[in-house]
Structure 1
Amino acid sequence: MKNLISIIIPVYRGNPVYFNKTIESCLNQTYDYVEVIIIDNGCNDALQDTLSELNTKENVTVVKNSKSGVCSGRNLGVKTAKGDYIMFLDADDWIESNACEILLNHAVEAEADCVICNYSRDYSDHSEKMLHYIRDTMYKGWKDYLKDLLNVQAGVGFCWGKLIKASTIENVLLNEELSLAEDAEYCARASQNWNVIVGDEHPLVHYIFNDQSAVRKFD
């Protein structure tokens, strides 16, 4: 039996153009056993028709979140997911068509609990590949990974950009009281359940650089 991958995407007042590309990238994977879980965190009217249409697809589930915030959305997504592996993705980012296939193959070969990939930072006029993992990397353990996580510039403390074995995080929730650095805080706790953590050299996630994001506005 093939492993099912659950891609969890919380969306709140999303940009329809970006969001459509996000969903399209997930639905057009070279690996077939993928379910997409969209958490409606209070979408604007421009996205409601899109969500209704997506909810009719066999491998897409749209869940209305009664709470607010990306953390509660991701937590609800994990509780809803049926997959053997979990991927988080933001509603304005997208993944390469072979992302699931590459990450799953690496996870199976290395018997890894978490595989972390490189990513591209996409600006309005150009793209930069963020190649932290020049070659495939195997961490010595979660404490070794934590050293990388504490180096913010390494970019390994995000929830996205990872394929995570679902059984390792079923009892690990994001802190819904945090509105900044919630990714890193969550990964620091979740990684303690990861016996094998590997880095993959392929830049598989496209992070859309947004000047108006919470991180950019934080002083």
Structure 2
Amino acid sequence: MPDTPAVEPRSLRADAQGNLDRLLEVAACTFQRDGADTSMRAIAKAAGVGVGTLYRHFATRDRLIEATYRSEIARLCAAAPELLESSPALDALRTWMNLFVTFMATKDGMGEALRAILVDDDEKMTTRHLLADALGELLSRGVVEGTLRDDIAPYDVLLGIGGITLIAGGAAQSATRNRLLDLLVDGLRTDGPRPRDA
């Protein structure tokens, strides 16, 4: 039996994955801008594919919303080590915070539709742990570099970023949000304020 060529199938799979990634990226931007009620046809057009291609991947809007949410979490988690490859921990951390704000805006854009899909509390906690782990990687590098404190729990920082996003997450509030995020980063620096002894 002749050997089956290996290169071509891998290439096809890579192309298909690339198309899927493009669809999810466009869906995230569209949901963030226009909300969960945007048409599937509009998403397909923005992604440069036919609506039939979109429906072949995602038979319903709910499936697209869920897949977009999971994709954005994966992108945010993957961004931490990628940022550390080219930036010091402080810069990488601040950039990651901006990405988190974008993630939250996308999540808010999917609104009630997403909340109706993600009803499992265990899954929500898993998501929080994944994000805290990614943030922990940034904080740990900063400790090694001597720029970030070693007494900070990643989940506490995650709550801080989330709180800032809740009160100043809108596009018109970017100046306030950036100021608050900068203050948060300042509090994490080794030369930032330390908590008082009890």
Q: TM-score, normalised by structure 1?
A: 0.27
Greater relative CO (CA pairs within 8 A, separation 6+): 1
Query: Which structure: larger Rg?
Result: 2
Higher strand proportion: 1
Q: TM-score, normalised by structure 2?
A: 0.29
Higher helix proportion: 2
